[in-house]
Amino acid sequence: MSTEEEPVKLDAGASTGPAPVSVETGVDPSAAKLRELLDALPPDLYAPVFTHASWTARRSDSYERLAFLGDSVLSLAITAHLYPRLEADRYGAGRLTKIRAQAVSGRSCRVVAERLRVPDRLRAAAPVEVAASVSALVRTERVLASVIEAVIGACYLAFGYEPTAAAVVEAFDPEIEQALEHPVDYKSTLQERLARRGVLVSYSVVDEQGPPHDRTFSISATIDGVEVGRGTGRSKKDAEQEAAQAALESLKW
């Protein structure tokens, strides 16, 4: 896929103020377009992207609303990329859904966030009074995934869908290819192995954290009432997959 594209230009009337910090060292080339858009964001959009809700008196000044928007833009961009690329006879709606879910999972979003040096950007934006806790915060999958969604949401508002979607597809390309070449379905694998032994696994939510639009779920996988694995994820499906993976590792079947 070509990576040639005209540099992003801000309108002459774009808000002025302190320029966003550009963190270029070590950025993966596969995220070049998204980094370009990110660094071209006007300050009134850049600032909330890297503002955790606990860092501001007004929750609306944090990245949460932008992440809500970016989640939808990310899903549409990847879906629109996959749909014409994959043969209808081989890739039905169910299979497409699984591929997309893996490509945009919390784990995938975290990897893309690390390519963009999001942890460094968060550290740079953190208030001095939270310095002691910021290191742990910027390592959590939930935060990094939410911030990358906020980046996408902000880019959509600033530059529109087409340039943002192209940048998203480029940034997530390694995850898309991984999902196509090595699809992950730990739940099905676990179910098949247990079926040979005549036992069943059940999944239950044991914890939920975060606001409704940015929830993290913890799910327990149990066999005959005994927990064999536990997983967390930004959706119940992601958490179940992680729980199933943990179960396969603990059972060693």
Per DSSP bridges, beta strands 202-209 and 226-233 are unpaired
229 plus 126 within the same structural domain = no
114 plus 164 within the same structural domain = yes
pTM confidence score: 0.73
214 carries an active-site annotation: no
Report the run of H or E that residue 64 belongs to, with start and end: helix 64-85
59 plus 114 within the same structural domain = yes
Quote the pLDDT of residue 253.
63
Q: Long-range pairs for 231-238 at CB < 8 Å and ≥24 separation?
A: 232/141, 233/105, 233/106, 234/105, 234/106, 234/141, 234/142, 234/145, 235/101, 236/205, 237/101, 238/101, 238/105, 238/106, 238/107
147 plus 198 within the same structural domain = no
Most confidently modeled range among 1-5, 76-80, 213-217: 76-80
Q: What is the CATH number of the domain that holds 198?
A: 3.30.160.20
Quote the pLDDT of residue 216.
87
Asked, for residue 235, whether it belongs to a domain, the answer is yes
49 plus 109 within the same structural domain = yes
Cβ pair 215, 209 in contact under 8 A:
yes
Quote the pLDDT of residue 19.
37
Quote the pLDDT of residue 16.
33
Q: What would the pLDDT profile of 22-80 be if each residue is shown by its tens digit?
A: 444 444 677 899 999 999 999 999 999 999 999 999 999 999 999 999 999 999 999 99
Quote the pLDDT of residue 29.
72
Q: What is the mean pLDDT of residues 210-216?
A: 78
Asked, for residue 175, whether it belongs to a domain, the answer is yes
Q: What is the CATH number of the domain that holds 158?
A: 1.10.1520.10
124 plus 60 within the same structural domain = yes
Q: What is the mean pLDDT of residues 10-25?
A: 39
From the list 43, 41, 189, 25, the residue with the least C-alpha distance to 116 is 25
Out of 71, 170, 175, 214, the active site residue is 71
Listed residues 181, 199, 219: the one ending a domain: 181
Total number of domains constituting the chain: 2
Listed residues 139, 163, 181: the one ending a domain: 181
Q: What would the pLDDT profile of 135-185 be if each residue is shown by its tens digit?
A: 888 888 889 999 999 999 999 999 999 999 999 999 999 999 999 998 878
Beta-bridge partner residues of 231? 219
Out of 149, 175, 238, 240, the active site residue is 149
Q: Is 58 helix (H, G, I), strand (E, B) or coil?
A: coil
173 carries an active-site annotation: no
Asked, for residue 6, whether it belongs to a domain, the answer is no
173 plus 198 within the same structural domain = no
Decide if pLDDT at 235 tops 80.
yes
Asked, for residue 18, whether it belongs to a domain, the answer is no
Listed residues 165, 181, 197: the one ending a domain: 181
Decide if pLDDT at 187 tops 80.
yes
Residue written as tokens 């994820």?
A: 233
40 plus 109 within the same structural domain = yes
Asked, for residue 8, whether it belongs to a domain, the answer is no
Range of the domain at 55: 29-181
Asked, for residue 1, whether it belongs to a domain, the answer is no
Residue written as tokens 């939410």?
A: 146
Two tokens, residue 194: 């247990």
49 plus 152 within the same structural domain = yes
219 plus 177 within the same structural domain = no
Decide if pLDDT at 18 tops 50.
no
77 plus 39 within the same structural domain = yes
Q: Which amino acid is at 84?
A: P
141 plus 190 within the same structural domain = no
